[in-house]
Structure 1
């Protein structure tokens, strides 16, 4: 039984290491992305109380993705970029059972009833923070939204892990940008 618990713990740890943010994108189907080549930041995350280092990374990573698509930052860009960050506390319940593992239906010769034995259960409440990054693009001339990308995941305590998740989320967000292009191969 202990072996099964160890295997289950290892699988959960590996699944946690392989975690990538949940990413969604949406685009205005009438927007002509081939006409856009420049952008300007309208609202950066540091203007919303986001820690300065996190804000700098968001801007850096979004800029890198747009530059990779041939877009250039300009004071009077074709597109306005707005980024927002939101966090929310969530909880989960983890219950562990312990005790003798004997009994059960039809256990042993002549025993055809329910099992007997003492066991206990311990439930732990785990509180964690889920962070969501939203990047919106607006056509400067029409003032209409043309694209939105979101990335959400559990915020880790380790800043290096948080940076890795942020980088992965933004990269995934822009993998098929501009709309209609072929996604980058992983």
Structure 2
């Protein structure tokens, strides 16, 4: 019975770790000296991706997030310039399952079993969105979102929208504190 509970606990831990390792990750940084309250308009400069179908999806997601924050897209001459870069990278995980019994005697004899290792290859997509002050041309805000890609375009679009919403969740940053 102990063996069964150990196997169950091991499987549960493996599933929990797999869930964490495939969870969407968002990282954001910004220039803490910039007052984001001064900006209300933005223009798109460039979206770089290997998949041309993603250009409109990325723009739509970011436009929606910025509009929700009161910012307005203008065709050119915005106070902020928006750049986006999307990359894809194949990654692998190795999972080993030991299905043996042990025991043994004084001299280490006894026990039997084997180990099975499986390799899982998956693709991680990362979107980086940069905001530059149009006058100074300095980077003022950057956020990235990474997630495992699916074979289904609609699921990837849903995850893209979810990632962009997380990126802009605490946007714009609070005004700088005066000393």
TM-score by length of 2: 0.81
Report the alpha carbon displacement of residue 180 of structure 1 after superposing the two structures with TM: 1.4
Q: 2:164 matched to which residue of 1?
A: 170
- After superposition, the CA RMSD in angstroms is 2.8
**Aligned to 2:150, what secondary structure does the other structure show?**
coil
Deviates more, 1:121-130 or 1:62-71: 121-130
Is 1:58 the counterpart of 2:58 in the alignment?
Answer: yes
Report the alpha carbon displacement of residue 167 of structure 1 after superposing the two structures with TM: 1.5
Structure 2 counterpart of 1:29, from 26, 32, 40? 32
Q: 1:179 matched to which residue of 2?
A: 173
Distance of 2:130 and 2:21 partners within structure 1: 27
Q: 1:127 matched to which residue of 2?
A: 121
Report the alpha carbon displacement of residue 114 of structure 1 after superposing the two structures with TM: 4.2
Residues 174 and 93 of structure 1: is their aligned pair in 2 closer, same or farther, counting only changes over 3 Å?
Answer: same
**Aligned to 2:173, what secondary structure does the other structure show?**
coil
1:21–1:168 Cα contact (<8 Å) kept: no
Q: Equivalent residues in 2 for 1:27-176 (5 A)? A: 27-45=30-48, 48-52=49-53, 54-75=54-75, 76-99=77-100, 101-103=101-103, 114=108, 116-176=110-170
Q: Could you list the runs of 5+ residues in structure 2 that have no partner in the other structure?
A: none
Q: Could you list the runs of 5+ residues in structure 1 that have no partner in the other structure?
A: 105-110, 182-186
Distance of 2:55 and 2:109 partners within structure 1: 58
Residues 14 and 160 of structure 1: is their aligned pair in 2 closer, same or farther, counting only changes over 3 Å?
Answer: farther
TM-score by length of 1: 0.79
Deviations 1:78-132 (A, max 9, x none): 1000000111121221112224x2415xxxxxx6564612211121222211211
2:102–2:112 Cα contact (<8 Å) kept: no
**Aligned to 1:55, what secondary structure does the other structure show?**
helix
Report the alpha carbon displacement of residue 24 of structure 1 after superposing the two structures with TM: 0.7
